[in-house]
A and B are shown apart, each in its own frame.
Chain A
Amino acid sequence: MSTSSEQLNARGVVVRSLAVDGPSGPLVRPLGFTVGPGRTLAIIGESGSGKSVTARALTGLLPRGLEATGSASIDGDRYPLSTGERSAWDRIRGRRAVLLLQDPFTSLNPVIRCGAQIGATVRARMRAERRRVSGSSLKLEVERRLDEVRLPPDVARRYPSELSGGMRQRVAIAAALAAEPRLLIADEPTTALDASTQGGVLDLLGDLQKRHEMSLLLISHDLGVVAGRADDLIVMRRGEVVERGRTNRVLAAPEHHYTRALLDANLSVTDTTIPPRPPSPMLLTATGVSKRFGSVTALDAASVDVARGEIVAVVGESGSGKSTLARCIAGLEVPEAGTITLDGRDLPPGRRGRHPGEMQIVFQDPYSTLNPVFTIDRSLRDALRLAGGQTTVGDLLELVELDPALGSRHPSQLSGGQRQRVAIARALAPNPQLLICDESVSALDVSVQRQILDLLIRLRDELDLAMLFITHDLGVVANIASRAIVLQRGVVVERGSTAQILRAPQHPYTKSLVQAAEHDSIHGASAQAALQVRPSR
């Protein structure tokens, strides 16, 4: 860094040689950066890149066993990152820097009203400033903070569980900003939210940052999220910075091959790669499937059909009923109404009378669906025994492009992508006619997502497999499905070919989904960015 930029950043944030060591070696190699007041720096990386550890090291909230070194200064107040003293961090946390976490479902205390949680931050700030606060002025302050994140005052009396995910993250932002920090560190602030609420929360963060002249450190795995929102960008991989620069420049002309790979792996909604399938006989037909949970209608007469060798996507946000539809078809839920036929045969509701060779499900999180104490071999052998086929474990592993030597390992010894391949192999053991994928790539890093999607397409072609792909991600839809249905609150609001739905959506809800997805797509954003950058060069 040049001296002039250091002077410029007397206000703002300067981080020098931040490094984090774990019990089995360094997690983050020394790195430094500056974030001016009102500026946004994004740190991009996949899981294991060290981005979240970097965020936590700045607020002294590393998990036990990790040690940070280096120093940071916020508005000229310099502090060492290595200190384990709680009192030393009291000066920093809150008034200097606040860390906003990813999951608003866990970051708020479930048994304390939202107003009281925001109020707790206000009290902490007042105490640090040696000011007293009366009950009525505290109430006013909480309402003002809620208003700032565009929530009505009555949210103060609600518990977090009574709010939607987007509203909870707004409450968390209000609670964070009540400390009036100079640096806000947002660790994947929208990853746990639906696509249509993500944009709103990110825009809100941007507005508030400008208004309070705050520095914002945005941690994300998603290049699409930072396009148009971050001024500068750092790309991290395995604890090291591989590329840094102005966001527009990095997105338009990445220098490091890893950045390029990340950009390429980002699934675009605009160019669909899947051609429509020639008509073939329908394998699965589900008609008028309805399901209620208590007084909530999860599915209202939803219909979907899949032909042999075809991949059909079921698109929807959380609460749309997309997983309920998959579970009804798989017999894991008993629908109140509707018929499900497979290969011309009526399937009875529920699991009775089902055969493993009919259909199999691959879930989102392979870590929780594979038994942690069994080796891969054992899990797959069990599946094969139930199926009674001639296939061997080695064949199955080769089918999903895994080294058969991995069979002796336990799930915890595999990467996320390898685990999902094992889950797919297990689902293929009984040689099913239909494979249901319930958000099967959502928990994976973007570069791994791409590989799993390619694998699924190859399997479809080789095995003439029919697939029902449940997802919230239009980028995934564009890259795997030839047709799709869109679910909103249990009702199918649109159906058609993928190209039709993504390029010319008819229903207002589909339009809003496509818009949100396009906004986050780097291919659209980087094209704009390139236009903005070039004249100045």
Chain B
Amino acid sequence: MIVVRLFGVLAILLVISFLTFSLVYLAPGDLVKNLLGNRPASPEAVAAIRAQYHLDDPFLLRYLDWLGSAIRGDFGQSIRLQQPVSTVIGDRLPNTLALVALAFLIALATAIPLGILSAAREGRFSDSLASLLSLIGLSAPSFAIALLLLYVFATLLPIFPAYGAGSGGFDTLWHLVLPAVALAAGIGAILMRLTRAALLRELQSDATTFARARGLREADVQVAALRAAAIPIVTSAGLVLTFIVGGTIIVESVFALPGLGSLLQQAVQFKDLPVVQALTLLIAAVIAVITILIDLSYLVLDPRVRAKGLNR
């Protein structure tokens, strides 16, 4: 089963690599101008650049060239930064990883307890308040939340730094707080709604009624309901994680964080094809791996799926 899935992932990565390649190729802009700037360029310089980056080769040949090297593990050189793509990505990966992890933790730590509270006190004031909060988180776009956070917590009350990644260690963590909160807001709101809905469904189930009918303590009844609701909550948390990975592009740009998201944004603008290709594939692969892990988590969490999986 897993082998089949992995082959599926490889096929998807191949398709994505072709699509991104075509999109960057078709996008407006001229690599030569990007490299030379606005200075008047001699025809020799232009020709030299066109030759160096094989700009005059047919489209398909250029793609196959790239694919051939990529399969051998060579993703080429960043045109903009004149460094190997692996170095460029490697330098910025820790920042983005830390940002994603922090945002995910913030989203989990706020949304799941809030969702549980909201379901347990359905229809009361705390439920309405939590619903209002999640509505705000859901409807405000992340760049707007980012700008608001910047204004309030970096300008008005200068508690947090406004930009950059800091000098490592605790300082970096301090720098990541605002971006992570901006990233977590929308995603946490989705997660909170999903948690609330999943738990409510279990609290209204026959199993809960039967547990109450047998005289079980309300606390025990709710814990049992939560165990059954954990299946949809965990899997939706996984899906939310994939949203976070995509959301880094906007948030890193707003906070000028040197991470993969801002790198991708700059690379697209510059038509830095090797970097765009490597980054999109990396993000796609991460998302694919997350979804496979979600499916595997069913095996751990749900005895019904486990029984079926063993029968196969």
Contact = CB atoms under 8 A, between A and B. Distances in A.
A100 B212 CA distance: 11
Nearest to B312: A294
B5 to A, nearest CB: 18
Contact of A90 (B207, B215, B228): B215
Interface stretch (B42-50, B160-168, B302-310): B302-310
Nearest to B202: A109
B39 interface: no
Interface string A92-122: 0111001111010011111110000000110
Interface stretch (B98-106, B182-190, B217-225, B286-294): B217-225
B72 interface: no
B216 A121 contact: yes
Nearest to A125: B215
Contacts of A93: 212-215
Contact of B307 (A123, A161, A295): A161
B216 A161 contact: no
Interface stretch (A43-51, A69-77, A171-179, A424-432): A171-179
B290 to A, nearest CB: 23
Contacts of B210: 99-101, 107-108, 172, 175-176
B213 A59 contact: yes
Q: Interface on chain A toward B: helix, strand, loop, or mixed SS? A: mixed
B301 interface: yes
A159 interface: yes
Contacts of A95: 215
A215 to B, nearest CB: 16
Given A111-B228, A111-B302, A295-B311, A120 B216 contact: yes
A161 B310 CA distance: 13
A494 B146 CA distance: 73
A127 interface: yes
A124 B212 contact: no
Nearest to B225: A109
Interface in B205-247: 205-207, 209-218, 220, 224-225, 227-228, 230-231
Contacts of A99: 209-210, 213
A332 interface: no
Given A109-B207, A109-B211, A127 B217 contact: yes
Nearest to B213: A99
Interface string A348-373: 00000000000000000000000000
A112 B224 contact: yes
Contacts of B303: 110-111, 159, 161-162
A172 B304 CA distance: 18
Interface residues of A, number: 36
Contacts of B231: 111
A61 interface: yes
A128 interface: yes
A103 B205 CA distance: 11
B215 A121 contact: yes
A175 B212 CA distance: 12
A334 to B, nearest CB: 20
Contacts of B216: 94, 120-121, 124
B103 to A, nearest CB: 29
A534 interface: no
Interface in A107-158: 107-112, 120-121, 123-125, 127-128
Interface string A283-300: 000000000001100000
A305 to B, nearest CB: 34
Interface in B125-148: none
Contacts of B302: 110-111
B209 A61 contact: yes
B214 A98 contact: yes
A162 B231 CA distance: 18
Given A106-B205, A106-B206, A106-B207, A121 B214 contact: yes
A12 B177 CA distance: 65
Given A109-B211, A159-B304, A161-B304, A124 B312 contact: no
Contact of A98 (B205, B215, B312): B215
B130 to A, nearest CB: 19
A345 interface: no
Interface of B: 205-207, 209-218, 220, 224-225, 227-228, 230-231, 301-304, 307, 311-312
Interface of A: 59, 61, 86, 90, 93-95, 98-101, 103, 106-112, 120-121, 123-125, 127-128, 159, 161-162, 172, 175-176, 178-179, 294-295
23 contacts: A61-B209, A61-B213, A93-B214, A95-B215, A98-B214, A101-B213, A106-B207, A107-B210, A109-B207, A109-B227, A110-B228, A110-B303, A111-B228, A111-B230, A111-B231, A120-B211, A121-B214, A162-B307, A175-B214, A176-B213, A176-B214, A294-B311, A294-B312
Given A94-B216, A110-B207, A110-B303, 6 more contacts: A98-B214, A109-B227, A110-B228, A111-B302, A124-B216, A161-B303
